Structure 1
Amino acid sequence: MNFANLSFEQPLLAEDLLTISQDKRPLVTFQFEEYLVVKGKQVNNSLNEAVPLRHPIKIHEAMRYSLLAGGKRVRPILCIASCELVGGDESLAMPMACALEMIHTASLIHDDLPCMDNDDLRRGKPTNHKVFGEATAVLAGDALLSLAFEHIASNTRNISPDRVVCAIAELSTAIGSQGLVAGQMMDLESEGKEVSLNELEYIHVHKTAKLLEACLVCGTIVGGGNTADIERVRKYARCIGLLFQVVDDILDVTKSSEELGKTAGKDLVSNKATYPKLMGIDKAKKFASELMIQAVEELAYFDAARAAPLYHLANYIANREN
């Protein structure tokens, strides 16, 4: 799917999302905000239990500092929602959901380091290396990454070993040299250079969208989804993964640091390629709308009630303010 070649004619609006469902009836009865709060609390409780404060104290303090610093918990909630989409129970997905948040947090700790994006603010708080020092921040990220896989292996219950192995393979691919690391590498190498839309798509599909795709695909796998379910969810995931980054690029140039909870305008200062830079703000916003509608169309194959969280999550990502 080549997102860079999408047409920007007759853009679809975010509010159209709420009238698109399997039977074309509005999904206004779904209490999305309540869903986010409830699922977020359950994820936070599980994360708190997964990383107790123990010896060596400093490394566990650093791990907990970033892991429990707040955040919207979009990734673990996507994992749980996709598990429930195919008839699975939240308990099946929670170990994987927590592991995904650990990996995401590890990537943020490393991404903020002076040798990478060199950021001082994350989720409204000083970045990990500003509080604990660079060496401890590197180790905290490493520890969270390894703990993620330990957590899946030790805590997953009532799922066949084949499905667990399949999900772990999916996750490993998403964050390795063909996934998140590839995107980060190309992002670093693109600074100060002229980058095409196709090259920018590669960066963001790998740096951001691959992990979001893993969240949804792994949730579908552990929830008992079949091959067709997994591929439809994967297509949805690829759209919202790129959508997440397009919106992030737009927010970076339209919001303040206080509104974002992280340093605003850094992409402009570092001369990084972004969608607003290459397309302009208006076309970037139209592109975001197109991606959201493509994502929603993939959900039409599923039961509308079970798909409701994912309909609304697409809308949430498209219209988030930070």
Structure 2
Amino acid sequence: MISRLEAVRAAVDAAIQAALADLPPGDLSDAMRYACVGGKRIRAFLVLESARLHGVADDRAMPVAVAVELLHAYSLVHDDLPAMDDDDLRRGMPTCHIQWSDATAILAGDALQTQAFAVLTDDAIGDCDLRVALLQRFAAAVGARGMVWGQAQDIAAETAVEPLDLPAVKALQQAKTGALIQFAATSGALIAGADPEPLAEYARHLGLAFQVADDILDVTGDPEQTGKRTGKDARLGKATFVSLLGLEGARDKASAIVSKAEAALNVYPDSEAAGNLRQLARFVIHRQT
């Protein structure tokens, strides 16, 4: 799985640069490219492996993988802003607003978001009806019912009188982190015209496991390895899986969720792609970055 993940990362990095190649020169395009540097490309990997699982070639799925990563990059740029999570380090580099300015970071995020939607119109993906269906699902995943709603809930929780309980934290994270992951994981089935529900079930568990692992890393991680500041959740008094379950309880929770993610893939033949998706679920909770 690791070799495939590395190959996907290299291919997606090149495709992202191609997607941003013809932008007008200046701070805006420089900041957009900067925001896309680094990352594990897990969401792109989900797109391409879910496509392979259904016999869809990488060249058809690649625009979707690029769109997902551009959208993810936008979300990180905006999340790091002083008005949001106020972070100065991302992927081991100064965050976009530190490297340039708040205004440039906001505009770079805006432009990355719109570029993501533009990439999803690529006719390499398939016919017009398919692309419209993907665009509709993409918008639902990342907008006011999905990722953006989750971020709004996260910000509101910082000043709430009562801390969030476990079901509320789960709902928040299923939107903030999980909605884009679910879109990525189901996109291959959608391109192939197959039932996306088994992969949606897998992704619901994977997204939750990813967030539990992030909460654990915020407590145990080394900033040199994670590439970002740690200990922030505790400083802000945020309710997390670790604060609610304890460190060992959160680790047990992550393992149990991964088992459910793996079980969701049992409907698929024992293919390389299905095996890679199972390994990805384990990788997510054992990563150090």
TM-score (norm 2): 0.96
Aligned residues: 286
TM alignment of 1:204-215, pairs within 5 A = 204-215=173-184
Do structure 1's residue 161 and structure 2's residue 141 form an aligned pair?
A: no
Deviations 1:77-135 (A, max 9, x none): 11111011111111111001000000000000000000000000000000000011000
Report the Cα distance in structure 2 between the residues aligned to 1:162 and 1:304, rounded to whole angstroms. Answer: 31
Highest relative contact order (Cα 8 Å, sep 6+), 1 or 2? 1
C-alpha displacement at 1:152, in angstroms?
1.4
C-alpha displacement at 1:53, in angstroms?
6.2
TM alignment of 1:13-32, pairs within 5 A = 32=1
TM alignment of 1:115-264, pairs within 5 A = 115-153=83-121, 155-157=122-124, 159-192=126-159, 193-222=162-191, 224-227=192-195, 230-264=196-230
Report the Cα distance in structure 2 between the residues aligned to 1:263 and 1:225, rounded to whole angstroms. Answer: 42
Q: Secondary structure at the match of 1:117?
A: coil
Runs (4+) of structure 1 exceeding 4 A deviation are none
**Aligned AA (1:233):** L
Contact kept? 1:53, 1:60, Cα under 8 Å: no
C-alpha displacement at 1:56, in angstroms?
4.2
Report the Cα distance in structure 1 between the residues aligned to 2:110 and 2:125, rounded to whole angstroms. Answer: 29
**Aligned AA (1:208):** T
Do structure 1's residue 300 and structure 2's residue 266 form an aligned pair?
A: yes
Contact kept? 1:170, 1:214, Cα under 8 Å: yes
Report the Cα distance in structure 1 between the residues aligned to 2:137 and 2:98, rounded to whole angstroms. Answer: 33
Contact kept? 1:53, 1:61, Cα under 8 Å: no
Counterpart in the other structure of 1:284: 250
Contact kept? 1:190, 1:272, Cα under 8 Å: yes
Do structure 1's residue 311 and structure 2's residue 278 form an aligned pair?
A: yes
Alignment equivalent of 2:4, drawn from 35, 43, 57: 35
**Aligned AA (1:117):** D
Deviations 1:256-304 (A, max 9, x none): 2112100111111111111010110111111101110101011111121
**Aligned AA (1:255):** G
**Aligned AA (2:152):** M
Contact kept? 1:170, 1:218, Cα under 8 Å: no
**Aligned AA (2:276):** P
Q: Secondary structure at the match of 1:304?
A: coil
Do structure 1's residue 50 and structure 2's residue 19 form an aligned pair?
A: yes
Do structure 1's residue 91 and structure 2's residue 63 form an aligned pair?
A: no
Do structure 1's residue 82 and structure 2's residue 50 form an aligned pair?
A: yes
Report the Cα distance in structure 2 between the residues aligned to 1:100 and 1:139, rounded to whole angstroms. Answer: 18
Report the Cα distance in structure 1 between the residues aligned to 2:76 and 2:174, rounded to whole angstroms. Answer: 17
**Aligned AA (1:171):** F
Contact kept? 2:186, 2:199, Cα under 8 Å: yes
C-alpha displacement at 1:158, in angstroms?
5.4
**Aligned AA (2:110):** D
RMSD: 1.1
C-alpha displacement at 1:231, in angstroms?
0.5
Q: Structure 1 residues 258 and 44 mapped into 2: Cα distance closer, same or farther (>3 Å)? A: same
Report the Cα distance in structure 2 between the residues aligned to 1:158 and 1:133, rounded to whole angstroms. Answer: 36
Contact kept? 1:179, 1:207, Cα under 8 Å: yes
Report the Cα distance in structure 1 between the residues aligned to 2:50 and 2:123, rounded to whole angstroms. Answer: 16
Contact kept? 1:79, 1:220, Cα under 8 Å: no
Report the Cα distance in structure 1 between the residues aligned to 2:251 and 2:123, rounded to whole angstroms. Answer: 40
**Aligned AA (2:286):** N
Report the Cα distance in structure 2 between the residues aligned to 1:280 and 1:191, rounded to whole angstroms. Answer: 20
Structure 1 gap ranges (5+) = 1-31
